[in-house]
Structure 1
Amino acid sequence: MHVLAQSTAVAKVAASGCLRRSPNPSVTFQRSPSLLLLPAACRRRCRRGCSVSVDVRCALGAMVTPELNGGDVGVGVGGGSFDFQRYLSARADAVNDALDRAMPRGFPERLCESMRYSVLAGGKRVRPVLALAACELVGGDAAAATPVACAVEMIHTMSLIHDDMPCMDDDALRRGRPSNHVAFGEFTALLAGDALHALAFEHVARGCGDHGVPADRTLRAVAELGSASGTGGVAAGQVADKESEGLPVSLAMLEYIHVHKTARLLEAAAVSGAIVGGGADAEVERVRRYARCVGLLFQVVDDVLDMTSTSEQLGKTAGKDVEADKATYPKLLGVDKAREYAADLLAMAEAELDGFDAERAAPLRHLARFIAYRQH
């Protein structure tokens, strides 16, 4: 199917909110292109109809709401209110402290300094917070998921260090300061990423045991993170992304790239948190579907921001996707349709939390909204 035909179909479906038949009886257009690769239960849920309010669509259209970009977020949950900014700040601080303790010091000094430079550079800590919140969602103690939270941030940071290198995206700016290879040189940056990847799995294996997590849960978490960083996740997405530069890319291929390059690691963070927290299999799978939608949502918003924001606003070089002639959701669908798609993904993610305890689900519900409305 040509990209133009796909885009037209998606536009019609977004307007109708239901399944439609194309003029070609052998092709069925779904409500959102992501449904091709989302888990089956997510597809079924969306076919039943995901209600996306006008307010949500308008907020996503602007990619900003006052509540989520300054001050407290107090949305009624179970008759009360939930202060998401306070929750996010406290969890991020706890993760930062744990990462500081986990990062190596000493010899070889330059390698350790390079690792610490990127891991402790800040960032939203979305993936670690996902792990902690998913652990609490299923009734676990967030402390048990701290090793997983740190490990997933190490893996994520590894991917950023490698992604910025000249052989990849060749980006000199990351989180508002020089990229690792600019600050430390290419070979040190490469090895810092490799060392972080190895440290992540060592940290889970040792740390979960120290927190009393049963060995079988620890092993499942290690397997989940390994799958998400290799050929079942980040590495596969990166290869597909680089090979597609300058070439015509279908929505299905774009979805493959982003499911693997971005969504899979967010999914693994949440799933691993739920696993070490003792979640039942059905609960873990619901968390997986939630996080898959959130992961794609993160990438759609990222694509829109890259096209509509400045480097100063983003803390990294804006417009790199356009310069590299990469396929993005705004490029294939247009900015407005990409924002509509983000609204659909937000609704699908929140729907997966229905049935969980409302107070325990509040952090994940607000985290999805935070990702949808973020400005950098």
Structure 2
Amino acid sequence: MSTIYDETHELFRESFAAFVDAEMVPKYHDWEAAGIMDRELYTAAGKHGFVGLAVPEQHGGGGSDDFRFNAIIAEELAKRGINGAGLGLTLHNDIVTPYFIEYCTDEQADRWLPGIASGELVTAIAMTEPGTGSDLAGIKTTAVRDGDEFVLNGAKTFITNGINSDLVVVVCTTDPDAARGGMTLLVVERGMDGFERGRNLDKIGQKSADTAELFFSDVRVPAANLLGEEGKAMEYLAFNLAQERLSIGIFGVAAAKAALDWTVEYVKERTAFGTTIASFQNTKFVLAEVATEVAVAQPFMDQCLLKLNEGTLTPAEAAMAKLHGTELQNRATDRCLQLFGGYGFMTEYPIGPAYADARVTTIYGGTSEIMKTIISKDVLK
């Protein structure tokens, strides 16, 4: 049980939980079947202050840099098994919005931040390419300066919010000879000529998080849409990595706790061989092990969360949070699903979809292998 929240946080939790129960839970299965959540969910969340939490108040946001509110959103979504649509919201809040807050000019802030805070402008970040996964230095998408514009060409894939997004932060190369020093962030807006969205990709999990291919064919992006300075994309991407990875780790532990809670409820009711499944020694041992792992993980996540708020969270600690949280999420959902028997393989219980949803978490945001590399460098320094 986390002890880092005060009364204000718990009131926020109650409010957000009520919003999720009213606006997301009844529609979630339909979103999963459609492979995309309703676009209007973002504006509904914006009206209640659940997006743009860190956007300055003068631009319509919450003006709070306390990441505990973001963590509460993750916990309440995970508790209800809302992983796909939850990813869309947390990506907008935790991962993309910080780039706009940090690097927008005054003109850009006036132009974009109010819509980001209200949910009228949904955000996405486009890094991964068909031939380039974790190795961002291999990006082929190019942007050539032509007067007051950049001419953008290339393709991206696996882009969360790829269909719903209005503002896409595109990582591209503006100086091919400068390697990592020649990469730039450009904001591509919905409706720009030459900007096309491909198919909404059919995934094995997190289906309601629309994930798309994006294509750029001679897209003329105004220089006014340059985010930060030209050639500094790698520096900018590193700025928010700790928060991004912690966000994923927090969700992972919350999802593991949800899997445990669903399973405890199920095994107390389900009978076999004339008794409840809960009475079997194997069931008790599995639940004891999962409960211990969750209990041990939570204080570390809390510690990382407080360090993030203080600005002292290190890259290695963030990598540990991401590695442990997502690996735990996968172990817990796998072991808990086994206790459901055949019903665990059905979608009528939340454990089955949660198992499928969990699998990608050790891949996106940096694979487990990359997290281990980051951690090992810190251990061996």
Report which of the two has the higher share of strand.
Answer: 2
Normalised to the residue count of structure 2, the TM-score between the two structures is: 0.29
Structure with the greater alpha carbon radius of gyration: 2
